[in-house]
Amino acid sequence: MKQTYRIAVLPGDGIGPEIVAEAVKVLNLVAEQAGVTFEFSYGRIGGIAIDTDGTPLPEETLTLSKKADAVLLGAVGGPKWDQNPGHLRPEAGLLGIRKALGLFANIRPATMHPVLVEASSLKPEVVSGVDLIVVRELTGGIYFGEKKRYSTEHGEVALDQCIYHETEIERIIRVSFEIARKRQKRLVSVDKANVLESSRLWRKVAERVAVDYPDVELTHMLVDSCAMQLVRAPKQFDVIVTENMFGDILSDQAAMLTGSIGMLASASLAEGSFGLYEPVHGSAPDIAGQGIANPLATILSAAMLLRHSLGMDAAADAVERAVWAVLEAGHRTGDIASDRSKAIGTEEMGQLVLAELSKQPIHQ
C-alpha cells in the first residue's frame, strides 16, 4: 500500500492562494513520482477567516492542522484589516497557530545562489557563497510576555516583559546544534548578555548544552555586533541561533543578503517531525490577484516540508534542483527580473518548475 501523508493547506490572504496553488501542484507531482499519497485539507487563516468566521484562527483550522503531518501556509494580512483591534488582526492568527501547535523553532535559510548574485544590494564579493541558517526561538521572549499599558500623572506607560524558561532555551539550542552538526559544524549563539538577564541565562544554557556536541564549535556574539557582521562579512556564519525578537530582526536582515523576498522559504518546527512551512514574505496586497507573484519561496518551503516533516530528502533535493534549473535557464518573475518586460507570471513559473521536476528522478 502507498504511504499516505496528510498536509493541511492554509492559503491565507492576498497572493497566498496564488502561490500556494503552485506549491500544491509541485507536491502532487512529487507524490506521483515518489509513489506516495498526499491528502490535502484546506483551512482558513488570517483576514479571510476574520471575514468568514469572525476570528483569524478558527477552531476548525487548528483541528485540521493538528491532524496533519505538516502545514503549508501562504501569507496573511492586508489593508482591509489594518485598523482592527489586536485580537482581530490577521497576524494574531499566525501567532496563535505557532503557539497552539508548539512551533518553537523557526528555521530560515539564506543561501546566495550564483544565478541571483545580481539581485543583492551588496557587493558580489561580499554575498557570493553565503550559505547560512538563522534559527529563531518562536514562542517565548518579549512577544509573549506580559503586556501592560497604564496612565500616570506624567502620561502613559507601556510595558512588555521578556521572559525565558531554561527548558525553552535548551530545546532551541539543541535543535540548532543538530542542524549545525549536519552542516559546517559552526554555531553562533546571539544574545545581549552584557545588558539582559534573560540573555545571561541563554548563554549559560548554550554552554551547558554544548558539552553534548563536542564536534560543533559554539561561539557567542552580541546582537548589535551580529547585525554589523551580517552585512560586513556574512560568509563567516554557518548557523545562528537567537531568541524571538532578535531572531525576527536578524532573520530578515540575513534573508535580504540574498536579494529577493520572493525566494525565501521558512520552516517552523515543533518537537518531533511536525512543522509549518511558509514563505518569508507577506501577502503582497499591492500585486494580489494579478498573477505576477513569485511562487518560488512557497515551492521552496514545500521542499523544506518534504525534508523536515516527511523525511523525503531526495524529493526535497529534486524540487530545489528544479527551481535552480528554471532560474539558470533565465526565467524570472518581476521581483527578480533585471528586465521586467521579460518577466513571467506565477502560473508560468509554476509550470516551468513542474517541467524541470518531471525530468528529475526521485529515488526515495
Active-site positions read 143, 192, 224, 248, 252
Residue tagged 554557518 (cell numbers): 238
Residue tagged 547560512 (cell numbers): 132
Least Cα distance to 285 among 48, 110, 68, 2 occurs for 48
> Cell for 14?
492576498
Please identify, among the stretches 158-166, 293-301, 308-316, 324-332, the one whose residues bind ligand NAD according to the rule CB under 6 A.
Answer: 293-301
Least Cα distance to 298 among 6, 58, 15 occurs for 15
Query: Coil, helix or strand for 66?
Result: helix
Tell me whether residue 43 or residue 180 sits nearer to ligand NAD (CB atom).
43
77 binds ligand NAD (CB under 6 A): yes
Please identify, among the stretches 114-122, 150-158, 202-210, 290-298, the one whose residues bind ligand NAD according to the rule CB under 6 A.
Answer: 290-298
76 binds ligand NAD (CB under 6 A): yes
Query: Taking every pair of C-alpha atoms in the chain, what is the biggest distance, in angstroms?
Result: 72
Neighbours of 14 (CB within 10 A): 29
Residue 279: CB minimum distance to ligand NAD, A: 6
Q: Looking at 11, 78, 234, 247, which residue binds ligand NAD (CB under 6 A)?
A: 78
From residue 35 to residue 74, the character string flagging contacts with ligand NAD as x (rule: CB under 6 A) and all else as - is ----------------------------------------
Neighbours of 133 (CB within 10 A): 21
Cα 226 to chain center, whole Å? 20
Q: Looking at 75, 97, 135, 205, which residue binds ligand NAD (CB under 6 A)?
A: 75
Tell me whether residue 193 or residue 254 sits nearer to ligand NAD (CB atom).
254
30 binds ligand NAD (CB under 6 A): no
Region of 57 (left: φ > 0; alpha: ψ -120 to 50; beta: rest) is beta
16 within 8 A of 279, measured Cβ to Cβ: no
Residue 88: CB minimum distance to ligand NAD, A: 13
For 317, residues 6+ apart whose C-beta sits below 8 A from its C-beta are: 303
261 binds ligand NAD (CB under 6 A): yes
Residue 284: CB minimum distance to ligand NAD, A: 4
357 binds ligand NAD (CB under 6 A): no
Cα–Cα distance, 116 to 111 (Å, whole number) = 10
Tell me whether residue 19 or residue 172 sits nearer to ligand NAD (CB atom).
19
- Contacting residues toward ligand NAD, per CB under 6 A: 15, 19, 75-78, 91, 94, 261-262, 278, 281-287, 293-294, 297, 335
